[in-house]
């Protein structure tokens, strides 16, 4: 399953252009950046980010609050995966029949590895509903898979502005930052993802690796 990274953008002070060059500037529940290439995969937004973003309907917010609470308290990996899958379903639920149809078509294109077509379809869905977390996170995932970090970071930023607890995007952010050599911020993003989902697959291992690099071996 594709799960549609931050402290990206605003929180980490990184911009897409700066991110790709390594320069400082500004710039992720069962949903987000996948391990689609047999590589490890999966942010935080500033307090004032995207104040005009549309909030989810009350019933949807209620579902999300309950699911995030259950995820944090999940007793085992299987339970965490079930809850994460349910979060993915909620994030991919829209009020638009047109967007729903486009998302189905994008998923089919992804399964067939027709990434250019999938990106085009997702772009159409986002034009209809710019606040659609499901479409934004899935597009970020494709960009990540293609090592196209600038657009991936931009979409991750948008996802996190709408849902800062999107642990898959936080994890994805960590992976991108690690690849760019920013281990310190990668560690911050990984820990943020683990705060939301303590059983996130691969995250504990990544945290251990980054901790050793950033903080050294404990005495």
pLDDT, residue 193, reads 97
Q: Give the pTM.
A: 0.72
pLDDT at residue 68, rounded to an integer? 96
Distance CA 158, CA 155 (A): 5
- Give the pLDDT of residue 18: 35
Give the single-character DSSP code of 131: T
Give residue for tokens 């085992």. Answer: 76
Q: Looking at residue 95, what is its pLDDT? A: 85
Q: Please state, in angstroms and rounded to a whole number, the distance separating the CA atoms of residues 27 and 6.
A: 9
What residue has token string 């059983």? Answer: 199
So what's the pLDDT on residue 2? 34
Question: Distance between CA 149 and CA 155 in Å, rounded?
Answer: 10
Q: Give me the pLDDT at residue 216, please.
A: 83
What's the pLDDT at 1? 33
* Measured distance CA(200)–CA(84) in Å, rounded: 9
Cβ(169)–Cβ(4) below 8 Å: yes
**pLDDT at 4 (0 to 100):** 33
Contact between 90 and 63 under an 8 Å Cβ cutoff? The reply is yes
Decide: 31 and 87 in contact? Cβ < 8 Å. yes
Reading the chain (219 residues) residue by residue, the pLDDT tens digits are 333 333 333 333 333 333 333 333 333 334 445 443 333 333 333 333 443 344 455 688 899 999 999 999 999 999 999 999 999 999 888 889 999 999 999 999 999 999 999 999 999 999 999 999 999 999 999 999 999 999 999 999 999 999 999 999 999 999 999 999 999 999 999 999 999 999 999 999 999 999 999 988 654
Q: If you ran DSSP here, which 8-state letter would residue 13 be given?
A: I
Using CB atoms within 10 Å of the CB of residue 143, give its burial: 0 to 12 exposed, 13 to 18 middle, 19+ buried.
buried
Q: Which residue intervals of 77-132 are DSSP H helices?
A: 77-91, 97-111, 115-128
Q: CB neighbours of 14 closer than 8 A, spacing ≥ 6? A: 8, 24, 25, 26, 27, 153, 177, 182, 185
Measured CA to CA in angstroms, residue 187 lies from 42, 72, 144, 154, 213 at distances of 13, 19, 18, 20, 10
Structure confidence at residue 92 (pLDDT) = 86
């Amino acid at each position: 399953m594709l799960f549609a990274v931050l402290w990206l953008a605003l929180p980490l002070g990184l911009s897409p252009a700066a991110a790709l060059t390594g320069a400082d500037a500004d710039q992720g529940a069962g949903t987000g950046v996948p391990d689609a290439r047999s590589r490890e995969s999966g942010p935080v937004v500033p307090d004032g980010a995207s104040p005009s973003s549309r909030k989810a309907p009350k019933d949807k917010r209620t579902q999300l609050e309950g699911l995030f609470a259950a995820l944090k308290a999940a007793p085992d990996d299987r339970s965490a995966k079930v809850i994460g899958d349910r979060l993915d379903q909620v994030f991919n639920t829209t009020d638009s029949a047109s967007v729903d149809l486009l998302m189905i078509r994008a998923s089919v294109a992804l399964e067939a590895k027709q990434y250019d077509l999938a990106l085009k379809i997702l772009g159409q869905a986002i034009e209809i509903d710019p606040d659609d977390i499901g479409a934004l996170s899935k597009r970020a995932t494709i960009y990540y898979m293609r090592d196209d970090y600038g657009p991936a970071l931009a979409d991750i930023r948008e996802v996190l502005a709408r849902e800062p607890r999107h642990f898959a995007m936080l994890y994805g952010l960590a992976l991108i930052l690690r690849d760019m050599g920013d281990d310190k911020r990668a560690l911050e993003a990984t820990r943020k993802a683990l705060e939301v989902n303590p059983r996130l697959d691969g995250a504990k291992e990544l945290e251990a690796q980054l901790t050793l690099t950033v903080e050294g071996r404990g005495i």
